[in-house]
Amino acid sequence: MKKIIIVGVVALIGVIGFLNIDKIQEAFSGSNLPEPTSIAFEKQMPLYSYDWKLIGPTGASLSFVEYMNRNVIINYWSLNDPESVEELKAWNKLYEDYKGENVFFIFVTADSQADVNAFLKDNDYVFPVYYSGSTPLKSIVLDKAPKTYLVAKTGRVVVNHTGAANWNSDNFRKVLDDLIKQNK
């Protein structure tokens, strides 16, 4: 009798889990975070300068000028900020889906390279991490993590978001898809 009750409870849990699979997936996909919003076109400010030195994942120096006339996502994050860490799973998924799609990702942190590399490895994250080699652009303020910008190929800032968000959302993917289509 005890065995039947245990099997029944396990089966009931399985059925409940199956019926709520969308909610379970949502809880683990980052979608419990707020949606990022785009800036209305008439309020989008252009970048006037691309003078920003970055240090890439391999230690090589590069200039943000290389990303001029390209769609670029800049995400400033920190291992010490729970919101930053919370949204990284969504960022990793978005990066995997959009790398090579005329969207360039610049994940910037001030954390030590050793700590970042260990964290990325432990979590199976594959996105590249950069370090600021000079003061960021005046129009790109990286004062609090997480902070995210989406800069269109035209140089206009399409998204300027402070705090965690669900960057893997259908709405944000549509914004990216629309920018990619404009480049074809």
Among candidates 73, 171, 64, 60, which has minimal Cα distance to 127? 73
Domain boundaries, the chain: 1-30, 36-182
Note down pLDDT in tens along the chain; length 184 residues: 667 766 555 555 655 655 655 444 444 444 688 888 888 888 988 888 788 888 888 888 888 888 888 999 999 999 999 998 999 999 999 999 998 888 999 999 888 889 999 999 999 999 999 988 776 666 666 677 899 999 999 999 999 999 999 999 999 999 999 999 886 6
Assign domain 36-182 to its CATH architecture: 3-Layer(aba) Sandwich (3.40)
Helical H runs in 99-182? 113-122, 170-182
| Sequence-ordered list of residues with C-beta below 8 angstroms from that of 91, at least 6 positions apart, any chain | 75, 105, 107, 127, 167, 168
Distance CA 123, CA 121 (A): 5
For 152, phi then psi, to 5°, come to: -75, 165
